[in-house]
Amino acid sequence: MDTISSQLEAQVIEVPSWAYGNSGTRFRVFGSPGTPRTIQEKLADAAQVNRFTGLSPKVALHYPWDKVDDWAGLKAYAEELGLELGTVNSNTFQDEAYKFGSLAHNDPKVRRKAIDHHLECLEIMNEIGSTDLKIWLADGTNYPGQGDIRRRQDWLAESLATIYAELGAEQRLVLEYKFFEPAFYHTDVPDWGTSFAHVNALGDKALVCLDTGHHAPGTNIEFIVAQLLRLGKLGSFDFNSRFYADDDLVVGAADPFQLFRILWEVRRGGGFDPATGVAFMLDQCHNIEDKVPGQIRSVLNVQEMTARVLLLDADELAAAQDANDVLGANEILMDAFYTDVRPMLAEWRESRGLPGNPMKAFAESGYLAKIAEERVGGAQAGWGA
């Protein structure tokens, strides 16, 4: 633990404001008692995650789901809670005008509206000191022939360039890809290659966002991680778990080994070094489980898997690989994966004044009962708040 302690110490996992709101599927949104009614209450919940884990001092916002008149005031409030406001996520997927697309729409007026929305996000970022603008687009078509998929790429490139031109010196644009949903035939940014093509054309301040839930089953996600780090173009993660589609479940729940393999490539590519600039975000929804413990479980899962990859003996692995020792190399990797770091991490946390078992400590804190009593009429992720 001594050898990896400083790296664990430096780990920051950015939690999404929308994880604290009610969410669901298209069949039903189940409310949960104590759900935040405002962004301030979402921040208060996020502060609990950080208080019990020490892992999540940053909160990503979604605009206009998160909207206030006084952004500087919100920043000050976050600071009072020991938090920083992080990535600003734009939203071009719930407005009637975007029925047929936003930045890639065939109508220049709609594209302009979507560009202006992003410029508004940049203004907010200036006020709250946020560096990352994250763009995920619902743009796409449902039927072959419905749209000119080639021209849409040109329109998209033009729109992105207009936004990119307004970025501040310290600001970055991260472009998220997703292979389907809500569009089912074609999506305008379906894969890392398309995202890379666009951000590469834009310049150094444009990078790719990799949402772990946005790939077809069987995709080797760690290869994409390795490649993007190699190219210097991995801007951020949206971590979550998937069994079937974009499930947005707790990271590390569906396939812990995949999370381990991804984080190994992060280590291999220098992605844990803050200078590399990779933002480790969660993009999750807690539909049936309690939200604050859902987030605590998630950041702990990332920390546990990070500890395992940090403990892997990289020199030993490289030697086995160089010798083409197929099973030996595999065994070194698997040994690290199977190392149960939980008792070590519990001790490590206690030595830093944190609870050894954050899940238990939070459950015993009575916070959920308190917010259930205080807050009535909590909101759905985004729309209501």
- Nearest residue to ligand AOS by CB is 136
> What DSSP element (H or E) covers 16?
strand 14-16
Considering CB distances under 5 to 8 angstroms, the limit depending on partner class, which of ligand AOS, Zn ion, none binds residue 89?
A: ligand AOS
> Do 217 and 242 form a contact (C-beta atoms < 8 A)?
no
Cα–Cα distance for residue pair 112/89, rounded to 1 Å: 18
Smallest separation (angstroms) from ligand AOS to the CB of 80: 26
Residue with tokens 């490590």: 348
CB of 200 to ligand AOS, least distance (A): 21
Subset of 62-101 contacting ligand AOS (CB under 6 A): 89
H helix runs in the chain, sequence order: 5-10, 39-53, 71-80, 108-128, 149-164, 192-202, 221-230, 256-268, 291-311, 314-322, 326-338, 342-350, 358-365, 367-374
Q: Between 136 and 367, whose beta carbon lies closer to ligand AOS?
A: 136
Shorter beta-carbon distance to Zn ion: residue 87 or 301: 87
Give DSSP secondary structure letters for 50-96.
Answer: HHHHS---EEEEETTTS--S-HHHHHHHHHHTT-EEEEEEP--SSSG
Handedness of CA 248, 131, 161, 159 (dihedral sign): positive
Segment 319-338, which members bind Zn ion (CB under 5 A)? none
d(Cα 372, Cα 357) in Å, to the nearest integer?
A: 23
Q: How many residues bind ligand AOS (CB under 6 A)?
A: 9
Regarding 14 and contact with Zn ion (CB under 5 A), the answer is no
Closest distance to ligand AOS from the beta carbon of 71 (Å): 20
Nearer to ligand AOS, 23 or 32 (CB): 23
Residue 18 interacts with, from Zn ion, ligand AOS, none (CB under 5-8 Å by kind): ligand AOS
User: Residue 120 and residue 66: Cα distance in Å, rounded?
Assistant: 13
Give yes or no for residue 246 binding ligand AOS (CB under 6 A): yes
Please give the residues from 160 up to 219 whose contact with ligand AOS meets the rule CB under 6 A. Answer: 176, 178, 211
Q: Minimum Å distance from CB 68 to ligand AOS? A: 19
Give me the residues that bind Zn ion (CB under 5 A), please: 211, 238, 246, 283
Give me the residues that bind ligand AOS (CB under 6 A), please: 18, 89, 136, 176, 178, 211, 238, 246, 283
